[in-house]
Amino acid sequence: MRIIGCGNADRGDDAAGILVARRLRELGLDSIEHAGDGFALLELWHGSENVVLVDAVLSGAAPGTVSVWDAESEPLRVQDCGCSTHGFGPAEAIEIGRALGRLPRRIRVYGIEAAQFEPGSTASPEVLKAVDRIVGELARSANTFAAR
Amino acid sequence: MTSSGEPRKKSGTIKVDYMARVEGEGALFIKLKNDQVQDVKLKIFEPPRLFESLLRGRHFTEAPDITARICGICPVAYQMGSVHAIERALGITIHPMVRQLRRLLYAGEWIESHVLHIYMLHAPDFLGYRDFVELAKDHPEEATQALRLKKLGNRIMSLLGGREIHPVSVAVGGFYKTPERAHLETLTEDLKWALDVAVAKAEFLASFEYPDFEQTYEFVALSHPNEYPLNEGRLVSNKGLNIDASQYDDYFVEQHVKHSNALHSVIRGRGSYQTGPLARLNLNFSKLPSVARQVAEHCGVRVPCLNPFKSILARAVEVVFALDEAQRIIQTYEPPPAPRVAYDVHAATGYSITEAPRGIQFNRYSFDENGLIQAVKIVPPTSQNQKRIEDDLRNFIPSIVSQPVEEITRRCEQAVRNYDPCISCATHFLKLTLERE
């Protein structure tokens, strides 16, 4: 299982995915911190059977709410934020991967609802709690996976 | 605002609050009165980056790494701009092979930046797709090849620059480390594949429908006696400009406009001008290798090409050039005796102009006897093209003004993307507002 945490550690709740990856590594589990560039993600998961992607999301839900998508079978409901520029993010990478037959057999996306992205700020308490929950869940499934 | 099903209004405003598929944050405001264009504003509201101030008080040796942070797409442009200006200030002559390696690094940036803009950002406009994802569904072969081409550009940057974004290997006097020939030869097979694909796929791009729109431009680009310009040359135009980088401030002026955080550059007494792939192609066609000239001719690009929408073809020709140039450099490469040359520090001012993928980029660096930077001026390509983009829109809108607002908006965004604006770099960018009164 390849776990990829996306985000920016210095932009408030955008750190959510990065924090999950860091905590998992502290527990001795392989995980990758990633800025979230879609083209690089396509390369990163190339050849992997089972990928987990963690990123901050904005859906209007309460901060810290965790949404889970099995992206190999359902498109991510991404609203065109318009501010995507040269940057192709994880959602675009998944849809380009789907169009080109380059998606891992299994790709689960955890989205942690963010509250703020202030430069230089730390993640909100609600987001940190969600990070704890996802780390626990992924650690358990990684251990179960390894035990097999 | 009118939609396609409603009666068309002859007056009003079109607003694009955030323009997608451009780098950075900007907006477009168009005001129409009785189908006549009253006002066009390309608003750049991405906050100022303040790099010029950030560099003051730092040692000039830090400048290449700091300026590489200006842009994630064209970091090499700013890095090269800084080292060339500093080296010129100190009278440093770099080793010829180091010069070749810098051209190779820059060629890598042109490949990744141009392929990104051609296929991921601009081609969807011509084919009527919302984005690259839709293009990829209908044209999987082209999309897959584009991804591989872009990756090759990034690999070149990574191999020479230490990493593919914000490279860290460029030093005043040369590089911190230069590669062995065997390292560069790992690119050979991919370059051969890429050149074949870039030549073949130009036909796909040439098959697009191009708006019948030509303008009288002042094209501005570097010109070098015997090579297609990347790192150096005199600054020339089709209207008689022929200057050294040190004369830039005498001929060009940056103007603050209220609606933009990016300064507008104009040629003193003449106004807007165009820089970038179309300008380079028009002013340097004979310097292209024969394979690139043949691709241009095969695509129907004849110089002077005055249709800004054909800039996508100029980029495709330049991808062919950059791949050919990369092959040539690798074939003739011998590692230099040292990665960089030694130099003495003294107070000085130096100037440089290099060709970023989207156009010329000017730099002036002044530092004291200890090498501490006192003043910096960096003029990115997007602020140079910004006024010209507004002029293009003002002249282009009358030909599409009878169309529904969605189509006007789509066409205007396409016209802005002719210039591959990099708003993050330019601030000091799109949202479209169309106002009819």
pLDDT at A69: 92
Residue B390 inside a domain? The answer is no
Instruction: Give the residue, B288 or B407, on which the prediction is more confident.
Output: B288
The answer to whether residue B24 scores a pLDDT higher than 60 is: no
Residue type for B76, please? V
CA distances from A129 to A112, A135, B185 (A): 10, 10, 50
Mean pLDDT over B399-416 rounds to 88
- Is A85 in the B-facing interface, judged by CB distances under 8 Å? yes
Dihedral angle over CA of B121, B125, B128, B129, nearest 10? 10
Residue B341 inside a domain? The answer is yes
- Is A92 in the B-facing interface, judged by CB distances under 8 Å? yes
Residue B40 inside a domain? The answer is no
Q: Which of A39, A92, A95 sits opposite B150 (nearest CB)?
A: A39
Dihedral angle over CA of A135, A141, A144, A146, nearest 10? -80
Mean pLDDT over A32-50 rounds to 90
Mean pLDDT over B171-189 rounds to 97
Residue B303 inside a domain? The answer is yes
Residue B422: strand pairing partners: B23
Do B20 and A80 form a contact (C-beta atoms < 8 A)?
yes
Contact (CB<8Å) A99/B133 = yes
Instruction: Give the residue, B47 or B364, on which the prediction is more confident.
Output: B364
Q: Which residue of B has its CA nearest to A93?
A: B133
Q: Which of A81, A85, A96 sits opposite B132 (nearest CB)?
A: A96
Calculate the CA B18 to chain-centre distance. 21
Structure tokens at B26: 């900007």
pLDDT at B9: 66
pLDDT at B164: 80
The mean predicted confidence, pLDDT, of chain B is: 90
Share of chain B above pLDDT 70, in %: 89
Q: Which of B23, B133, B143 sits opposite A86 (nearest CB)?
A: B23
Q: pLDDT tens digits, residue range B201-211? A: 999 999 999 99
CATH code: domain of residue B177: 1.10.645.10
pLDDT at A82: 39
pLDDT-based confidence at residue B370 (cuts at 50, 70, 90): very high
Structure tokens at B126: 């011509």
Residue with tokens 């004369």: B247
Instruction: Give the residue, B12 or B251, on which the prediction is more confident.
Output: B251
The answer to whether residue A81 scores a pLDDT higher than 50 is: no
Closest-CA distance of chain A to residue B423, Å: 10
The answer to whether residue A124 scores a pLDDT higher than 90 is: yes
Domain tally, chain B:
1
**B71 φ, ψ (degrees, to nearest 5):** -145, 140
CA distances from B432 to A92, A117, B373, B413 (A): 23, 25, 40, 8
Which residues in chain B have Cβ-Cβ distances shorter than 8 Å to A92?
131-133
Residue with tokens 């370059």: B191
Which residues in chain B have Cβ-Cβ distances shorter than 8 Å to A81?
18
Do B245 and B81 form a contact (C-beta atoms < 8 A)?
no
Q: Which residues contact A77 (CB under 8 A, 6 or more apart)?
A: none
Q: Which of B24, B130, B143 sits opposite A85 (nearest CB)?
A: B24
Q: Which of B21-25, B290-294, B381-385 ranks highest by mean pLDDT?
A: B290-294
**A101 φ, ψ (degrees, to nearest 5):** 65, 35
Share of chain A above pLDDT 70, in %: 90
Residue B162 inside a domain? The answer is yes
Mean pLDDT over A101-124 rounds to 93
State the ipTM, two decimals. Answer: 0.85
pLDDT at B1: 35
Which residues in chain B have Cβ-Cβ distances shorter than 8 Å to A83?
18, 20, 25
pLDDT at A89: 83
Q: How far apart are CA B51 and CA B68, in angstroms?
A: 11
Closest-CA distance of chain A to residue B25, Å: 7
- DSSP secondary structure, B111-160, as one string: HHHHHIIIIIIIHHHHHT-SSHHHHHHH-HHHHHHHHHHHHHHHHHHHHH
Instruction: Give the residue, B427 or B326, on which the prediction is more confident.
Output: B326
- Is A80 in the B-facing interface, judged by CB distances under 8 Å? yes
Contact (CB<8Å) B20/A42 = no
Contact (CB<8Å) A85/B17 = no
Q: How far apart are CA A56 and CA A11, in angstroms?
A: 11
Q: Which of A12-26, B25-39, B393-407 ranks highest by mean pLDDT?
A: A12-26
Instruction: Give the residue, B2 or B333, on which the prediction is more confident.
Output: B333
Q: Which of B20, B151, B422 sits opposite A82 (nearest CB)?
A: B20
Residue B15: strand pairing partners: B29, B433
Contact (CB<8Å) B133/A95 = yes
Residue B418 inside a domain? The answer is no
Domains and CATH numbers, chain A: 2-77+85-147 (3.40.50.1450)
**Mutation site, A86, A88, A95, interface B, largest B CB count within 10 A:** A86
Closest-CA distance of chain B to residue A132, Å: 31
Domain carrying residue B78 = 51-384
pLDDT at A147: 64
The answer to whether residue B23 scores a pLDDT higher than 60 is: no
Share of chain A above pLDDT 90, in %: 68
Residue A60 is classified by DSSP as S
Q: pLDDT tens digits, residue range B28-64? A: 888 888 888 888 888 776 556 788 889 999 999 999 9
pLDDT-based confidence at residue B377 (cuts at 50, 70, 90): very high
Q: How far apart are CA A21 and CA A138, in angstroms?
A: 10
pLDDT at B124: 92
The mean predicted confidence, pLDDT, of chain A is: 88
Of the given ranges (A51-60, B29-38, B73-82), which has the lowest mean pLDDT?
B29-38
The answer to whether residue A86 scores a pLDDT higher than 80 is: no
Q: How far apart are CA A79 and CA A59, in angstroms?
A: 9
The answer to whether residue B398 scores a pLDDT higher than 50 is: yes
pLDDT at B427: 41
Instruction: Give the residue, A56 or B256, on which the prediction is more confident.
Output: A56
Query: Strand B36-44 to strand B26-33: parallel, antiparallel, or no bridges (unpaired)?
Result: antiparallel
pLDDT at A21: 97
Q: pLDDT tens digits, residue range B244-279? A: 999 999 999 988 877 666 678 899 999 999 999 999
